[in-house]
Amino acid sequence: MTEKMIRGSGNVFADLGFDHPEEMETKAKLVSQINAIIKKRKLTQKEAGAILRLTQSRVSDLARGGLSGFSVDRLFPLLNKLDREIEIIVKRKKSRRPVTTTVTFADHISV
């Protein structure tokens, strides 16, 4: 039996057929960074909630990677409350590939 390999697009949300895959991927990266900061600071969910002005259950949603109820616009202030600055750069695309959204962290935190 031969297995057929299909190359992914680079965006798992697009590959799985989600609506608005670029936005989903952006939110997932932002939530991942928020969780990494919380973990690096060794904050409890209650402590993180106090800093972020969220309930412990909403922090728990973030910790599990829950994206519903969190827009990109809502995630930016959470990063600000964790002492992170947000910089958005808009530029002309350089190739014929589809337009993309890229999230880059200047000080990516590994845990």
Per-residue pLDDT of the chain (111 residues; tens, 9 = 90+): 678 887 888 888 888 898 888 899 999 999 999 999 999 999 999 999 999 999 999 999 999 998 888 999 999 999 999 999 988 888 888 888 777 777 777 776 654
C-alpha distances in Å from residue 13, one per residue of 33, 39, 42: 18, 25, 30
Please tell me the predicted confidence (pLDDT) of residue 4. 85
Please tell me the predicted confidence (pLDDT) of residue 91. 84
Judge contact between 62 and 34, C-beta under 8 A.
yes
Torsion of CA 58, 108, 80, 62, to 10 degrees: -10
Specify the amino acid at residue 29: K
**Residue keyed to tokens 């939110």:** 27
**How is residue 60 written in tokens?**
């728990």
Domains and CATH numbers, the chain: 32-85 (1.10.260.40)
Asked whether the whole model's pTM tops 0.75, one would answer yes
Please tell me the predicted confidence (pLDDT) of residue 111. 47
Q: Considering all CA atoms of the chain, what is the largest pairwise distance in Å, rounded to the nearest integer?
A: 55
